[in-house]
């Protein structure tokens, strides 16, 4: 099976969504969950963008051991210096440097000629390479760039030491056929392409981010960039859970392995939704509340006879049990702890004991304890330490 690396950017591109603002503790909690989920790379933030982002990236880089931790940087020495300070404690220091390559971005945003952009990109990669063994370079708005120009600049950044080349569809404009064809073209025309990882990064403006990402891996991409629940700028990024489950369920067709621990998908999705405050639409593929709900009589009848009549993914596959146990005044500590874990809380024994005492007091007054009540109880304990 071909190995596909999952590069998670929930904490960077995901956090760029309107209305999302995570603090360091929340980011660390999500990063730990992403490590359990088995992502290859965690993009923890944009260290030069604010002191808060710097602190979060540094703490994540110093904590996470089983995923590579990276941070975003503009193609500028100062951004790269700051990123090194934030990321140097990581197991495998990795930086993600980006620069736009489309005619519209070069002319209006950067106000640079194509030749100047090549020089800036090469200088930035060489500079980053002095510190970082792993340097990812992104051609922002790659999909709307001239393919011949992309080949030219990529050849040069590879010669300068880049280890991963990312080809974003920054504005979500591509169709699967076109985006796949671009990867095929780059595979055939870039010098030294076999020495680097090629990466796909798709936005969902036309609802095609997941299909585009899959078209990219079918045409030679080694890495896919995505976010939990598909959160991200504007209409969002490609959704991690949809890509991982699609490649798994159709593995006979694709013959690719992402190494994602599918059992952690539901937990990751709930944690990100809770901490960002972004609700998951009920009909969202894989993690939506209705993703496994069968309403019509014909479907229910089929399901009772053989689940496979209408179910291609089981809730168990993504770590969601059919029915979580209802919690009330007769519930025991075991079910209570189980619910905390299921909701994505990582509480110490002391915090659990305290929360359990408060839960029993509440259950004496209230017949039904809702998920919101539990959030308040668990979060209260977490904030006390």
For the bound state, the minimum distance from the C-beta of residue 104 to Zn ion, rounded and expressed in Å, comes to: 16
Residue burial 161-174, b: 16+ Cβ < 10 Å; e: rest? bbbbbbbbbbbbbb
Q: Strands 5-8, 41-43: parallel, antiparallel or unpaired by DSSP?
A: parallel
Cα separation, 42 vs 355, whole angstroms: 31
Which residues are CB-neighbours of 296 under 8 A, at least 6 positions away?
A: none
Give residue for tokens 């496994």.
292
Question: What are the two backbone dihedrals, phi and then psi, of residue 221, each rounded to the nearest 5 degrees?
Answer: -65, 140
Choose between 203 and 274: whose C-beta lies nearer to ligand KIV: 203
213 binds ligand KIV (CB under 6 A): no
Closest residue to Zn ion: CB criterion: 13
86, 51 contact by CB (below 8 A): no
Stretch that binds ligand KIV, among 163-171, 246-254, 255-263, 363-371 (CB under 6 A): 163-171
Choose between 33 and 136: whose C-beta lies nearer to ligand KIV: 136
Cα separation, 190 vs 155, whole angstroms: 6
Choose between 8 and 13: whose C-beta lies nearer to Zn ion: 13
13 binds ligand KIV (CB under 6 A): yes
Choose between 13 and 29: whose C-beta lies nearer to ligand KIV: 13
Comparing CA positions, the residue from 79, 13, 92 lying closest to residue 49 is: 79
For the bound state, the minimum distance from the C-beta of residue 165 to ligand KIV, rounded and expressed in Å, comes to: 11
Cα separation, 93 vs 112, whole angstroms: 30
Binding mask of the shown chain, residues 11 to 40, with x at each position contacting Zn ion by CB under 5 A: --x---------------------------
Residues binding ligand KIV: number (CB under 6 A) = 10
Q: Is 105 annotated as a binding residue?
A: no
170 binds ligand KIV (CB under 6 A): yes
Binding mask of the shown chain, residues 62 to 101, with x at each position contacting ligand KIV by CB under 6 A: ----------x-------------------------x---
Q: Is 13 annotated as a binding residue?
A: yes
Q: What DSSP designation does 160 have?
A: T
The beta-carbon contacts of 247-252 under 8 Å, at least 24 apart in sequence, are 247/4, 247/214, 247/217, 248/317, 249/312, 249/313, 251/1
Stretch that binds ligand KIV, among 166-174, 265-273, 327-335, 358-366 (CB under 6 A): 166-174
Contact residues toward ligand KIV (CB under 6 A) are: 13, 72, 98, 138, 140, 166, 168, 170, 201, 203
Contact residues toward Zn ion (CB under 5 A) are: 13
Residue ranges for the known binding site for Mn(2+) are: 13, 201, 203, 237
């Amino acid at each position: 099976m071909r190995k596909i690396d999952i590069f998670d950017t929930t904490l960077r591109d995901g956090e760029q969504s309107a209305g999302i603002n995570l603090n360091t503790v929340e980011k660390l909690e999500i990063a730990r969950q992403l490590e359990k989920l088995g992502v290859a790379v965690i993009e923890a933030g944009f260290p030069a963008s604010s002191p808060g982002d710097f602190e979060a990236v540094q703490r994540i880089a110093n904590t996470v051991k089983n995923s590579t931790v990276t941070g975003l940087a503009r193609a500028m020495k100062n951004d790269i210096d700051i990123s090194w300070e934030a990321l140097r404690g990581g197991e495998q220091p990795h930086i993600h440097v980006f620069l736009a390559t489309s005619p519209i971005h070069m002319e209006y945003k950067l106000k640079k000629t194509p030749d100047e952009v090549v020089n800036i990109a090469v200088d930035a990669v060489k500079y980053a390479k002095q510190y970082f063994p792993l340097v990812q370079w992104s051609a922002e708005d790659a999909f709307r760039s001239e393919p011949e120009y992309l080949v030219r600049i990529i050849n040069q950044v590879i010669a300068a030491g880049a280890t991963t080349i990312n080809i974003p569809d920054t504005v979500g404009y591509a169709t699967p056929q076109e985006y796949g064809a671009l990867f095929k073209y780059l595979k055939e025309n870039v010098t030294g392409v076999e020495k680097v990882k090629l990466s796909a990064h798709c936005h969902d403006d036309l609802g095609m981010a997941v299909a585009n990402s899959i078209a990219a891996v079918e045409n030679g991409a080694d890495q896919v960039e995505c976010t939990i629940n598909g959160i991200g700028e504007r209409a969002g990024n490609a959704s991690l859970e949809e890509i991982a489950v699609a490649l798994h369920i159709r593995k006979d067709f694709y013959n690719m392995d992402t190494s994602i621990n599918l059992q952690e998908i539901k937990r990751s999705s709930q944690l990100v939704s809770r901490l960002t405050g972004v609700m998951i639409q009920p009909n969202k593929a894989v993690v939506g509340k209705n993703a496994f709900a069968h309403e019509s009589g014909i479907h229910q009848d089929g399901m009772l006879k053989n689940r496979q009549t209408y179910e291609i993914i089981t809730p168990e596959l993504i770590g969601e049990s059919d029915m979580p146990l209802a919690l009330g005044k007769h519930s025991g500590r075991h079910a209570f702890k189980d619910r905390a874990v299921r909701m994505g809380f990582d509480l110490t024994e002391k915090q659990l004991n305290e929360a359990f005492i408060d839960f029993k007091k509440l259950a004496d007054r209230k017949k039904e304890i809702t998920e919101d009540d539990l959030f308040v109880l668990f979060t209260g304990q977490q904030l006390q330490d």
